[in-house]
Each structure stands twice: as structure tokens, then as C-alpha cells.
Amino acid sequence: MPTQTDHPIILPHGNYRALLSYQKAEVIYDLTFRFGAKFLKMGDRTKDQMVQAARSGKQNIIEGSKASGTSKEMELKLTNVARASLEELLADYQDFLRVRDLRIWEKDSPEAQYVRRLGSKPGVTYEAYRKIVETRPAEVVANIAICLIHQANYLLDRQLERLEQDFLKEGGLRER
């Protein structure tokens, strides 16, 4: 006879720190917080919006991961909110550069490739970017953020595809 431990009601969940998407989102939040403090004026609504979008991207990954034990549907929804928040932040950085007539790096520019290589290892934190971010002009820092957001969005897109498959296959506690 199967025991509850053979078929637990609440499945293992909540290990968000192991998710590459979370790791990248945390770097984006840290970078955005510092970008706003350094390059945007106090009281600028855009500053608050950017920091909140970066925070939402990170926090919704956490919340979705924690909710996954009881509802795969909620995990899927919250991960999608994280993805949407980072897309909003991406547009803010692109707007920042565009309205100031600053260059937006091409996807395969040497600078963008450098940023991709720098963040290609699991476990990368803001410390890997600190020296560059804290010594470069706004144009460079905004472009680094754009590269990181593209990486996070790519990871979240793959994660969402997997969550959708898992949801259709297994559901969550509520769905089961």
C-alpha cells in the first residue's frame, strides 16, 4: 500500500536560488538599483518604475517557485509576470538610450559578446559586473543591463515552456 511519502501531496518546491533565471534577475535588480541612484534624478518617476520592474522580475520568480508545490498554474502565471516585468524594464533601458541619442549595442557587437561571456557561468552575481558598472558611463551600463535582460528573458522563455509542459502533464495540487 502506497504511503504519503511515496506520493507526497506537496511536491518539492521553492529552490529558486538554483534557477539561472533567478540568478540573472538578481543581478539585474542590483544593477538597476545602482543605475537609478547614479544616473537618474531623485524623484524621477522612471527611476522608481525601473527599480520596481527589476524587483518584480526577481520577486515573481521567487513567489512562483514557492507556489509551485501547490499550484503549477500559479507558478506559470507568476513566472510569466516576472518575464513581463523584465520586458518592461528592457523597454525603459532602450528608451533611456534612445531619447538621449546614445548607442544601443547590436546583439553581436564585441561589447555584447563580452557581457554574454561574463555572465555565462552559473552562480554569477553582481560582483562579476561591479567594477565595470561602477566605473563606466550611463550608455555602457544601460547596454550591459539590456544584455542581461535579454539573457534573463531567454532563460524565462525556456522555463515557461517547461512549466507549461509540466502543467499539462502533471498539474499541481489544486489541478490534481
pLDDT digits (tens, 9 = 90+) for 135-146: 999 999 999 999
Between the alpha carbon of residue 63 and those of residues 92, 104, 115, 125, the distances in Å are 24, 32, 28, 20
pLDDT at 33: 97
pLDDT of residue 73 exceeding 70 = yes
What is the value of pTM for the model shown?
Answer: 0.87
pLDDT at 166: 75
Q: Decide: 82 and 16 in contact? Cβ < 8 Å.
A: no
Q: Average per-residue pLDDT in the chain?
A: 88
